[in-house]
Amino acid sequence: MSDEALPPGAIRLPGRVIPLPDTISEEARAFLANPMFGGEQEMPALDDLDGWRRHCAESNARMTAMMKMQRAGIAFDSEVIRLSNADLYDIRPIAIAAEDAAVLYIHGGAFIVGGGEAAGLAAAQIADMAGLRTFSVDYRMPPDHPFPAGLEDCVEAYRFLLESYAPERIVIYGGSAGANLAVTTILKARDEGLPLPAACVLHSPVTDLRQIGDTMTTNAEIDVILKRPGEWLPGLYSGGHDLTDPYLSPIFADFTKGFPPTVLTSGTRDLLLSDTVRLHRALRSAGVRADLHVWEAMCHGMAHTAPEAQELLGEHLAFMREALGLT
């Protein structure tokens, strides 16, 4: 294609090699260089529901096994509470900093994995580090339960917490797809007349299911976790609803109607960096307190074995403690 055929303002880049920078920890460099990130799974066709069921089950089994290893050194008690259509994992750390405060944790996993036992395990680290009782909702997911099923489960989980905790003693926490649901849970709860929680903690949120942000292009193939936008994702999760529905793509929400103080985190190699910074700007423009932290060379989900990941969690915890008056 000649330069004249490029869209206005488009830039053609020469072929080049993107090295790992010397500005990050050795642990982060080792994580990003791990050869396991070299291959990619072939995804089923959008209408192949049996294929998606198999894919989700296999992916979830691997995720659960990995989380069991990662959480092996964390001591906690747990109980499963049954909601109308979903389980709510009640994760109680050994040492509790405040009996009257709690976290509603919403797991990530591209809206299709991370459920079952993995949902409880995912919340254990936050519960342990924060010293707070943490409730992780095992919300319904595609292919059998597209939007709005999962969102309805998360709102019900928030209603459940409100029966035992004052709203100003609750923090809602989510990463990736879970961060999307954290935002939309607050929006839907607000629109249904429920009080706002004390704070919202978001890591690399999905905020626009149209997948058109700048870093969807500039960080494609550079992010070792999310190599490119998932063409299947909007259709599989949305259930045919308009992708600009604020409960699907919260970038379109009216935050002037109320939203709690929020911290957002991402990395310069994160495919969803644009989704993160766009939501930060939308919150700030609406007068909502929103803190943004971006880590050098970090991919989607962070390099969880690196000190940068602990630093990131430290920012989350500090924000939570401040919001709950635990500092």
User: Distance between CA atoms of 174 and 200, rounded to whole angstroms?
Assistant: 8
Fill in the DSSP letter of residue 310. H
Instruction: Confirm if 76 and 127 have CB atoms less than 8 A apart.
Output: yes
What is the pLDDT, as a whole number, of residue 21? 95
pLDDT per position as a tens digit, 252-296: 999 999 999 999 999 999 999 999 999 999 999 999 999 999 999
> Going by C-beta distance under 8 Å and a sequence separation of 6 or more, which residues neighbour residue 93?
75, 76, 127, 128, 130, 131, 132, 133, 134
pLDDT tier, 304 (very low <50, low <70, confident <90, very high otherwise): confident
User: Distance between CA atoms of 324 and 319, rounded to whole angstroms?
Assistant: 9
pLDDT, average across residues 74-84: 96
265: Cα separation from own chain's centroid: 10
pLDDT tier, 38 (very low <50, low <70, confident <90, very high otherwise): confident
327 pLDDT higher than 90: no
Three-state SS at 58: helix
User: Distance between CA atoms of 308 and 298, rounded to whole angstroms?
Assistant: 8
pLDDT tier, 42 (very low <50, low <70, confident <90, very high otherwise): confident
Three-state SS at 5: helix
pLDDT per position as a tens digit, 305-318: 899 999 999 999 99
What is the pLDDT, as a whole number, of residue 1? 45
pLDDT per position as a tens digit, 82-130: 999 999 999 999 999 999 999 999 999 999 999 999 999 999 999 999 9
Three-state SS at 36: helix
Q: What are phi and psi of 306, to 5 degrees?
A: -105, 155
What is the pLDDT, as a whole number, of residue 4? 64
Dihedral Cα 264, 270, 275, 280, nearest 10 deg: 30
Query: How many CB atoms are located within 10 Å of the residue 257 CB?
Result: 10
**pTM for the predicted model, two decimal places:** 0.96
Strands (E), 126-180: 133-138, 170-175
Q: Which of 5-9, 208-212, 242-246, 292-296 has the lowest mean pLDDT?
A: 5-9
Q: Which two tokens stand for residue 153?
A: 């489960």
Return the sign of the alpha-carbon dihedral for residues 105, 199, 286, 214: negative
